[in-house]
Amino acid sequence: MFASNFIVKDSALKHIKGQDKLTEYSQSKTVASGNNMTNYFCSVCGTLMYRRSSGFPGMSITRIGTVDDLKLHETKLKPKLEVFTKDRPGKGISNPIATLRSVALMLDFLNEEEAAARIYKAVDGNLAEGKLLTPDMGGKARTDEVVEDVIRRL
């Protein structure tokens, strides 16, 4: 798993739409640096939009894929550096929510609205209950535990 991020001043971060759909989760114990980290997720699709850390006051760590201006992707936002972390592969701590919601989006596209609605409801139930969350959302659950919980809710 990898992500391309960039850091932007909070004063320059503009929400074109959907700011009311952001859900925030704060964590401190799971961040290796010891900084407090607040993650901002889209409550509709589960996408991590950006993060704010006490280690970068006044700035947001933003996913390149969340930027609407595609011209920037090949110019100013084109990755110039790769940072590898070995703490996630094979650990089972990756958040499956965005993948599960992507399945629902695909089913919607294929006119399988009922199946998509069932997945959304199951994922929303998991998030609302808050008992089985991955470390990036402040929980201790493994990827497979979250997926099994969503399947059980189907």
Average pLDDT over residues 29-43: 77
Q: Which residues pair with 7 in a beta bridge?
A: 61
Average pLDDT over residues 91-104: 82
Give residue 137's pLDDT: 82
Torsions phi, psi for 113 (to 5 deg): -60, -40
pLDDT tens for 134-151 read: 888 888 999 899 999 999
Distances (CA, A) of 22 to 18, 38, 48, 134: 7, 12, 9, 18
Q: Give dist(CA 62, CA 53) in Å, integer.
A: 11
Give residue 33's pLDDT: 67
Burial class of 151 by CB neighbour count within 10 A (0 to 12, 13 to 18, 19+): exposed
Q: Give dist(CA 106, CA 94) in Å, integer.
A: 21
Give residue 79's pLDDT: 63
- Full-model pTM: 0.49
Give residue 72's pLDDT: 76
Give residue 117's pLDDT: 93
Lowest-confidence region among 1-5, 37-41, 106-110: 1-5
Give residue 36's pLDDT: 84
